Structure 1
């Protein structure tokens, strides 16, 4: 009976060349996973590798099979539970569900066209800790990128955690740091799952825990881009890390996604956008291997990267705003390089050569006339200042004159690096 009932479904909706023959795999796999019972299964002769019974033996025995009685009773008595199970399976394996699938399964009335309505957890559900989430919905209790027991990918972001996850300013998209605490991140484990979700344009669940707050399932989200940037691992060392750009969506059903998200997905080529090539932190770029590249050559490369970023300011799409934000470190790194670790205010009377505990320059990079006023995020209008000079430039009585002087300095030093003077 399974061959007659399931075989045509496999042909119509799963691309099976011979659905009646291919019924054997799900028929037996469900039994092996204890989701399905097959009468007298222990007596069936198996194939040479012992993975499943011979088709001929199943045809001859034609055993009774089906859900365990307690599961069948629960699903038939609790239609909301049944809708939850059906919705989870559809979202996990069919995105979007093929037309006529629910009708062919006889589930149109049960789902009433509202697949995402029955999914659990609901956005906004709070839990005190990860163990509490796992007790209700299953899944791993520690990993940051992992599915719940329904198999749908879930990511967790803790404000006190080791990763630099953040909402991108002026927009609700999320820059989510990839999997791997120390050392360069690789496309494995959780990052591999994220890449697969990006390729299939499948939504995932985003959970967030603010400082001293509870875990909350904030939103469904879809990956619109994968980038690589420099970050600091748990060991305190600079490393290359993935950043997955998550765009919040109302549900995992694509017909509910905003036009700006659809536009971003259409523009996404699925490739890695590597921001770590142009913007290399000075503590990394000062290794013996990089000595062959002069400071002036590095500066020119960073300045070019900052100009590419600035050129996108005239465009207002969300994808452009996101890229501009993530690429902005190029200008800052260029100014720090140009400063040679010294405050660029010629009249500095503070501590122009002070260093941090990590032996980095104690400098603050600032736009001389403010980014909001100029709209330029390029090194020729930016300076590296010690905290004292930064305060004088921002709040000092003579700040207007100092700003004019610093703009001359910034442009002069920039020209010297670009022209080789």
Structure 2
């Protein structure tokens, strides 16, 4: 799936199967999902529900969304970190909300992050994100149907920035590994003869990490382990390449699969372990 070809209509409801077909990936159950399209363009999917634990305010053109983490103090890691970083390093964010006992997720349109603030809630610290619905998507909603639930958005001007990725380099690496994950060594099939894998930058591109877009900073991963790297549940020893995983016993203690002509940057692995891994 490429984001440019994605066809979503604000106001329409989608079930889990619809979302899997549209985005080429299923739902993880997280409120903030970190995803990538076929061009390695990062994007986020946000989910909120009336029956959820966070008491999100999702009315109006500008609204509040509480970050991930249902117990203890929330931290600016994993999905919370990527959502917070979107203030200065914008990326596509697709917002879905489920009303009451509805079975489907109603697409609310694209949103931008205005601010993030730590606040006290029920004796713990949570992060409250202020999100702004993008005008061009909201104007497509059937206003007569939505007027009782959503206020008309304010008009705002936003400037979008996108990191230009070296897609040719990523493509060559995927071919070198035959679309095989370097963590679990599984090859996901995209078609009868073609495989599917994703390229992951150990030190992420763009602010605030400013990682290099070079092969030494990239791993070829299946979607599941790509998400694990983003959420910080996996780390790799820079010297031995032994994997540590927070919950996957099948790969915990296994050695990372690295071709002899793919030299990984030990400093990039160390950066991931220090700045992103969270277990």
Please tell me the TM-score bracket, short chain as reference. 0.3 to 0.5
Instruction: Tell which has more relative contact order, 1 or 2 (C-alpha 8 A, sep 6+).
Output: 2
| TM-score in terms of structure 1 length | 0.30
Please say which structure displays the higher CA radius of gyration: 1
Higher helix share: 1
Higher strand share: 2
| TM-score in terms of structure 2 length | 0.44
